[in-house]
Amino acid sequence: MPDFPPSPDQVDVMHEDVIGYETLRRMASVEQYNRWIYDELAPYAGQRILEVGCGIGNMTAFFLEQELIVAIDRLPSSVQYTSERFENRSNVVVMEGDISDPTLPPRLRSFRIDTVLCVNVLEHIEDDVTALRHMWEVLRPGGRLLLLVPAGQYMFGMLDEALGHFRRYERSQLARRVGMAGFHPIRLTYMNIAGIPGWFFNSRVLKRNLLPKGQLRLFNALTPLFIWSERMLRRWWDAPFGQSLVCIAEKRPDRGMVRPE
């Protein structure tokens, strides 16, 4: 496996891309949390996936049994790393691309994409509706969008700023923007209630720009308990809060993009 990109110990910790790399590096270690995300999204996935914002392949690795996964990222260093990581996988195509670029969807149509996977990426895009429209354009009719975004604007703080987030989402806000892009949401729910205190305390109170490694190790160890308790809770109550929002949406043949007035 190729070396990870440089860490904040080696270069200026305040540089947004470096903080992003280090966050991805640390998130690679929370295997059980990443598996939780996969378990929430995988039942809705098809066989020909476009992953928007693959980073260093933390989520890519969970979908390797699919017929095809096209992993794109706007950063050349991420593309190089992920290309080398999965170079022995003939069903993985890694390419540089920005989903906000209107020239990208035509480049991807030949892949016959039936699923767009977008995990913790949309919040980095200022014009998120345009990005969602481009995802809609890439999909075949009947295809699905598997989307996970950070939730709760009240938690927006230093961690978000350091990572280059433009926003955290509320459920009604996300539903509206997904609908404006032409999608029909079939599932929209909060996830990871247990993650709220840690994010709020580190981001809003301590004003850190990285989540501590020790806290992430503890969170990963406790993740099975968090998953069990949250699933039990949601049998009775669709709690209107969580650290993240999960959205599953379809591209229906009879529905087009809604242009803003």
Looking at the whole model, is its pTM more than 0.85? yes
pLDDT 10s digit of each residue in the chain, 261 long? 455 444 333 333 334 567 777 887 888 888 999 999 999 999 999 999 999 999 999 999 999 999 999 999 999 999 999 999 999 999 999 999 999 999 999 999 999 999 999 999 999 999 999 999 999 999 999 999 999 999 999 999 999 999 999 999 999 999 999 999 999 999 999 999 999 999 999 999 999 999 999 999 999 999 999 999 999 999 999 999 999 999 999 998 765 555 443
Query: Could you give the count of Cα atoms lying within 13 Å of 226 in the half-sphere of its Cβ?
Result: 19
Which CATH number is 16-250 given?
3.40.50.150
Q: Are strands 184-191 and 115-119 parallel, antiparallel or unpaired?
A: unpaired
Domain extents in the chain: 16-250
In angstroms, the CA 145 to CA 104 distance is: 17
Ramachandran angles phi, psi of 64, nearest 5°: -70, -15
Residue 239 φ/ψ region, left for φ over 0, alpha for ψ in the -120 to 50 degree band, beta for the rest: beta
Q: Which two tokens stand for residue 105?
A: 């969807």
What gap in Å lies between CA 4 and CA 176, rounded to an integer?
Answer: 37
For residue 218, the number of C-alpha atoms closer than 13 Å in the C-beta half-sphere is 8
